[in-house]
Amino acid sequence: MTTVDARQSSSTRTAAAGSTAVRLSGVSVRLGDRLALAEIDCEIGAGAFVGLLGPNGSGKSTLLRAVLGLLPFAAGRVEVFGRPPGQARDLFSYLPQRQHLGLDLPIRAADAVMMGRLRHAGWLRAPSREDRELVAWALEQVGLADRRNAPLRELSFGQQQRLLFARALVQQGELILLDEPMTGVDSQTQDLFVELLGGLHAAGRTIVMATHDLNMAACVCDSLLILNQSLIAHGPVSETFTPAVLQKAYGAHLHFVEALPSTGHAQVLEDVHHHETETGEAPSGAGLA
């Protein structure tokens, strides 16, 4: 398997060192009669790798969808590299939660990944040579090159999640938004995703990853954004991954051990791999490889 490289169309190479990738100014979002996000103010620097943390129903998925411009705001505004979300479509790669997806379509694995190129190719134009090469590259990255012609229904849960990761890769976004990408997958797939995300981060991409795995986020991300409807904390791991901050977000049920030499920060003693989603439903296929 090759490692992630800096492949990217020139139209998406817009970030400059020290610039702001995402700015949320007083963002509030209502879902029905419930306030899902309340007056969120924060800036995410270009090239950051942000772990988006919070308990069930804290607004993690809502924040990602707000950044994408998929939800109306009750108040506030979002800018992505200085643009409104609707004018920044070519800058996104997005991997949504599994319960938001239908993977029972009668198509091949490679066709599902090719869907990530639609905003570049359009619905009516045949895929270009570059599109096909990117799909082949992405399938190789996630270890599914030999399954490119397999129907989706024949892929395991973990293989389907790898396929969705490949689809996000071919979108070639400068800003990568991932909503619980590792929930329910096997440890080998988790390790693969961590490796791929590390390569994307090193290549200068901005990554925001919602996750329930607090310890993993503290190890692989360079900063944390912690929500519980309102913004609890945002900053370097050393300043935000603390008992005081996490207990403010999650309550007093979290337990900590002393800082580990390998990480330099405390470790949360909690089963973080089997959570309900923010809709209150168990992740589809959780626990399957």
**Does residue 253 form part of some domain?**
yes
What pLDDT does 254 receive? Answer: 74
Q: Helix (H, G, I), strand (E, B), or coil: what is residue 174?
A: coil
The total of structural domains in the chain comes to 1
Q: What is the DSSP letter of 232?
A: E
Domain residues for the domain of 130 are 19-269
pLDDT tens string 124-150: 677 889 999 999 999 999 999 999 999
One-letter identity of residue 89: R
From the number of C-beta atoms within 10 Å of its C-beta (0-12, 13-18, 19+), residue 143 rates as: middle
Residues of the chain whose pLDDT is less than 50?
Answer: 1-3, 6, 8-13, 271-289
Output the pLDDT for position 105. 72
User: In this predicted structure, what is the pLDDT of residue 1?
Assistant: 44
Residue where the block lists tokens 């134009």? 125
Does the residue 278 lie in any domain?
no
Residue 261 has a pLDDT of 54
pTM of the model: 0.85
Q: Confirm whether 277 is domain-assigned.
A: no
Residue 38 and residue 199 in contact, taking contact as beta carbons nearer than 8 Å: no
**Any domain includes 11:** no
On average, the pLDDT of the chain sits at 84
Helices and strands (DSSP H and E) totals, the chain:
9, 11
Residues ≥6 apart with Cβ < 8 Å to 33: none
- Tell me, what's the pLDDT at 123? 58
Q: Which two tokens stand for residue 242?
A: 């603390």
Nearest-angstrom CA–CA distance, 191 and 200: 14
Which of 207, 195, 208, 100 is CA-nearest to residue 143? 195
| CB-based contacts of 111, cutoff 8 Å, min separation 6 | none
3-class secondary structure per residue, 234-267? EEEHHHHCCHHHHHHHHCCCCEEECCCCCCCCCE
> Could you tell me if residue 1 is inside a domain?
no
> What is the CATH number for 126?
3.40.50.300
Q: Where is 215: in which H helix or E strand?
A: helix 214-220
pLDDT at position 198: 97
Please check whether residue 220 lies inside any domain of the structure: yes
CB 105 within 8 A of CB 152: yes
What's the length of the chain?
Answer: 289
Give the model confidence (pLDDT) of 233-276 as tens digits.
999 999 999 989 999 999 866 767 655 555 556 666 554 433 44
